[in-house]
Structure 1
C-alpha cells in the first residue's frame, strides 16, 4: 500500500463501503453477545481461586486495562488507515505496517506479524467454539440425566455436529443479529433465575475467603480475560458499523457494551461465590437444584443461547482461515468451498471437545495465552511503533503506557498459560 504524503486530511470512515452495515443498536446487541457467555458463568469459580475481595478489585483493574487496551488498538488501526489512505485495515495488516515504521530492532518482526496474529486469532476463537461445544453438551447431559436417561457426554458432543454446522453456514455478521438478539433475551431470563437462587440463603460473608492463595491467581486471571474480551469479534463489529465514529470515546458503544458486561461479571462472580463458597462448580448453573423447574429451564435457555452464539464466535476463525486459503488458491471470497471449510471447523471443534471436557481449565488456557497477546501485548507494541517517529508525549507518558500494557500482558500470559497447562496435565494424569 502506497503512503501518499498530502496536506489534506483523510478520514477512513468516510471512504468505507460496507454491504449490510450494522446500526448502533445492532452493534450494542452484538457486543453484549460477544462478551457475555460461558466465561461469565465460570466467574464464581474464578473468585474461589482468587478470593472475593481480591476478585472484585482484580476484575475491575483487569477489565479497565483490557478496555483501555482495546481503545489503544482501535485508535492505532484508525491512524494507520489515515497514514496509508485506505478505508480499512485488519488486525494482522495493521500490526505488520506499524512494525515496518517502528524501531529498527523490531522491524524484522513485520514479516511474521500477519501469520502470528492470524494464528492466535484463529486459535482463540476456535478455542471458544470448543468451550461452547463442551458447555452445551454438559448442560444437555445434566438435563437428560435428571429424567433418568444417563448417556455418555461424548454422545451429546457428537450429536451437536449437525445443529452447529447449520447455524455456522450463516456468513454475514448482520444476518447473525437476530440470533444474537434472541440469545441476549434468553441469557437475560436465565440470569434472572440464577440471581433468584444465588441471592437466597446467603451465609455470613466472613465465611468466604477474601484473599486466596496466590497459586490460584493465574486461573483467575485467564478466566477473567476469557470472560471479558473477544478481540477478533470486537474488531469485526467495528469494521461493519454504519456509524464507526460512535464506537470509541468515553460514552462510545465499546465502553457501554463492555462496561455492562463487566458489571454483570462482577455481580455473578461475587454472589455466586458468596452463595456456594468452596462448593462452587465450573459453571454456576451446575450448582442450581436440578429437582426444581426453574434451574432446568435456565440450563436449557443458556444452552440455547450459547448455541445461537456459536456462529458469532466462530466468525473470526473462518474469516482468517478462508482469507488465507482463498488467497493461496486464488479463489473468490464467495466460493462454495467456504461452506466445506465451515463444516470442517465445526468437526474440528467437536473432536477437540471430545478430547478435553475440563471447561474452566480450557477457558483459562485460551484466555491466558491468546488474549494476553491479542488484547494487551500487541496493542502496546503497535502503539509504541506508531509513536516512535513522532514522540511519546510529555514525560514520555505514552511510552510508559505501552510498556505497561506489554509487561502486564506478558507476565499475566506466561504465568497463566503455564499454570493452565500444568493443571490440564495433572487432570489427565488422574484420568489415566
Structure 2
C-alpha cells in the first residue's frame, strides 16, 4: 500500500516482492489462487517444478507425502464438505448445552450462544483467509492450524519471527490437550449413559469408575486401528445413529413444555463462567476447518455469504440453541450434564437413544484419538532416530495403549461430564476457537485501526473467558471432591 494512504477498516496482505502467484482481492483479503494451479505446480528439492511427483500435505501431524496427484485434485464436493463440517461440529458438546443454559439462564443462554456462534464463525473465516494468504506468500499448498501461525510469525520482519516455532508448539499442545480432553468426555459420556441403561435393566448399581475402566479396556483394540480409511464405514454408521437420536431427543423436548417464565432469564453470576466454558466447548471443531477447506474441489465455495462454512455453522447454531433452550426449558433445575440422561428411563424407545449415542461416541473415539497420536508419535520416532535407537514394531501400539490409560485415569479422576466439558472449553477452547485466529489475522495482514479494535475485542472476550472459566471450573472440581 502506498505511503500516506489511510486504512478504512481493511486488512491488507503483506506479500513479499518475490511472490510469483497472481492474485486478486475479495473484500478485506486475498482470493486464493486457483486450486488446480497450486496442486499441480509443486516445487521439488532441486528448485524445479513438476505436476507429476510428490504432493506435500500439511496436517496436525506434520508433513505427509502422497504419490498419486490425480487423486489429490479430485477432493470433496460442496455437499460432502458440508456433511463433514456438520459431523465435526455436532458431538458431545451439544448434549451438554442444556446444562450450559442452566448455568447461564434461558434468555442469556440463547443470546450468548448465538453471539458466540457468530464470533466463532468469523474466527473460522479469518483463519481460512490467513491460510490462503500464507499459502501464496510461502508457496506451500496446504497449511494446518499450527503451520499457519508458524508461518504468520516467520514471514514477518520484526521480533515475532523468533517466536514462530514456539507459536507452532503452543497450537499443537492445545490441540493435544483438547483432543485428549474430548476423548475423556467420550468415556464419561458412554459411562453415564450405559450405567443408566444397565441399572434400569436391573443390574446392581456399581461405581462409575468401574464402568470407566471397563469401557477403556474395550477401547484398546479399537484404537490400535491406524488407518482412517478403515474407520470410514464406522463413521457413516455413527452418523445414522446421530440423526435418529437427535430426532427422538427433539420429539421428547417439544412435549409438555412449561411456560418460559418458569425459568430464570439470567442465572447467578457465579455460574456464568461455567456457562461460557461449557458453551464454547461445543465450538471446538475449528481445528478441522482448514483440512476440510483444502480437500474441497471448489475451494472458493467454502467461504462467502452462502458458502459451506456459513451454511454449516447456521445449521449448527440453530441445533445448539434448540437443544440447549428447550432442554433447559423442559427440565429446569433437574437438567443433567448430558440431555440423554434426562430422557425417560421407563421407556425403551428413549433408552435406545442412550444406547445409540453411546455406540456413536464409542465409534468416534478413534477419530478424536487420531489427532494426538499423529502429533506425538512422530516426535517420539524422531527423537529415537536422533539417538540412534531402533523402536520395535510394536512400540506404537504400546504407546497407543498408554494414551488410552491416560484418558482412562483422567476420566476416573473427574467423572463429571459437565465439569470436564467446562475445563476443556475454558482452558483450550478459548485459545483455539477465539484468541489465536484473531492474533493470526493481526500477524498476517496489515490491519486498520478498526480491525485492531475488532480483534482486540475478540481477544479480550477470549482471555476473560479463559481466566474466569478455568478458575471457576477448577474451584468447582475441588468442591465436588
Q: Secondary structure at the match of 2:447?
A: coil
Q: Which of residues 32, 57, 79 is equivalent to 2:86?
A: 32
Deviation at 1:105, TM superposition (A): 5.3
Counterpart in 2 of 1:361? Answer: 419
Are 1:13 and 2:35 an aligned pair?
Answer: yes
CA distance in 2, matches of 1:420, 1:195: 29
Structure 1, unmatched stretches of 5+, are none
TM-score under structure 1 length normalisation: 0.90
1:91–1:303 distance in 2 versus 1, CA, 3 Å: same
Q: What's 2:347 paired with?
A: 292
Native 8 Å contact 1:12 1:86 kept in 2 = no
Residues 185-218 of structure 1: CA deviation (Å, up to 9, x unaligned): 2112112221222211211111111111222211
Question: Do the aligned residues in 2 keep the contact of 1:76 with 1:383 (CA within 8 Å)?
Answer: yes
- Quote the Cα distance in structure 2 between the aligned partners of 1:315 and 1:67: 25
CA deviations 1:9-48 (Å, max 9, x no partner) are 2848333446576523443333222211111111111111
Match of 2:455 in 1: 402
- Please state which structure has a larger fraction of its residues in strand: 2
Provide the residue aligned with 1:252 in structure 2. Answer: 307
Task: Give CA-to-partner distance per residue, 1:294-346, whole Å, 9 cap, x none.
Answer: 110110001011112112222321121123223333499xx764444333322
The C-alpha deviation readout for 1:392-431, integer Å capped at 9, x for no partner, is 24xx332223222221211111111111111111111xxx
Per the alignment, do residues 338 and 223 of structure 1 end up closer, same or farther by CA in structure 2, a change over 3 Å counting?
A: same
Tell me by how many angstroms 1:248 deviates: 2.5
**Is 2:174 the counterpart of 1:120?**
yes
2:373 is matched with: 318
Stretch deviating more after TM superposition (316-325 or 57-66):
316-325
Q: How does 1:271-350 map to 2 (within 5 A)?
A: 271-330=326-385, 337-350=395-408
More helix by share: 1
More displaced 10-residue stretch of structure 1: 105-114 or 366-375: 105-114
Question: Which residue of 121, 124, 149 corresponds with 1:95?
Answer: 149
1:370–1:103 CA distance, 2 compared to 1 (3 A): farther
More divergent stretch after superposition (30-39 vs 49-58): 30-39
Question: How far apart, in 2, do the equivalents of 1:44 and 1:299 lie?
Answer: 16
Q: Does 170-179 or 287-296 show the bigger shift?
A: 170-179
> What is the aligned residue count?
421
Alpha carbons 2:187, 2:216 under 8 Å: kept: no
Q: CA deviation at 1:253?
A: 2.3
Tell me by how many angstroms 1:234 deviates: 3.1
Aligned to 2:305, the other structure's residue is in SS state coil
Aligned counterparts of 2:411 and 2:356: Cα–Cα separation in 1: 21
Check if 1:416 corresponds to 2:469.
yes
Using the TM superposition, name which of 192-201 and 153-162 deviates more.
Answer: 153-162
Residue in 2 that maps onto 1:385 = 443
C-alpha distance in structure 1 between counterparts of 2:228 and 2:312, whole Å: 17
- CA-based RMSD of the aligned residues comes to 2.6
Tell me, what secondary structure is at the counterpart of 1:57?
helix
Choose the corresponding residue for 2:211, options 156, 163, 166.
156
The higher radius of gyration belongs to 2
Q: Which residue of 1 aligns with 2:262?
A: 207
**CA distance, structure 2, for counterparts of residue 124 and residue 170 of structure 1:** 21
Q: Which residue does 1:266 correspond to in 2?
A: 321
Q: Distance in 2 between matches of 1:179 and 1:280?
A: 31
Q: Distance in 2 between matches of 1:201 and 1:300?
A: 24
In structure 2, distance between residues paired with 1:68 and 1:236: 17
Match of 1:62 in 2: 116
The 2-side partners of 1:148 and 1:181 are apart by 32
> SS of 1:160's equivalent?
helix
Q: Post-superposition shift, 1:230?
A: 1.6
> Which piece of structure 1 moves more, 71-80 or 230-239?
230-239
Q: Whole-Å Cα distance in 1 between the matches of residues 112 and 152 of structure 2?
A: 31
Q: Tell me the distance in 2 between the aligned counterparts of 1:169 and 1:118.
A: 22
TM-score by length of 2: 0.81
Matches of 2:175 and 2:19 in 1, distance apart?
Answer: 35
Alignment of 1:156-175 (within 5 A): 156-175=211-230
Kindly state the Cα deviation for residue 278 of structure 1 after the two structures are TM-superposed: 0.9
Whole-Å Cα distance in 1 between the matches of residues 229 and 83 of structure 2? 11
Q: Secondary structure at the match of 1:291?
A: coil
* Segment drifting more, 53-62 vs 87-96: 87-96
| DSSP-derived class of the 1:9 partner | coil
Alpha-carbon distance in structure 1 between the residues aligned to 2:95 and 2:147? 34
Deviation at 1:102, TM superposition (A): 4.2
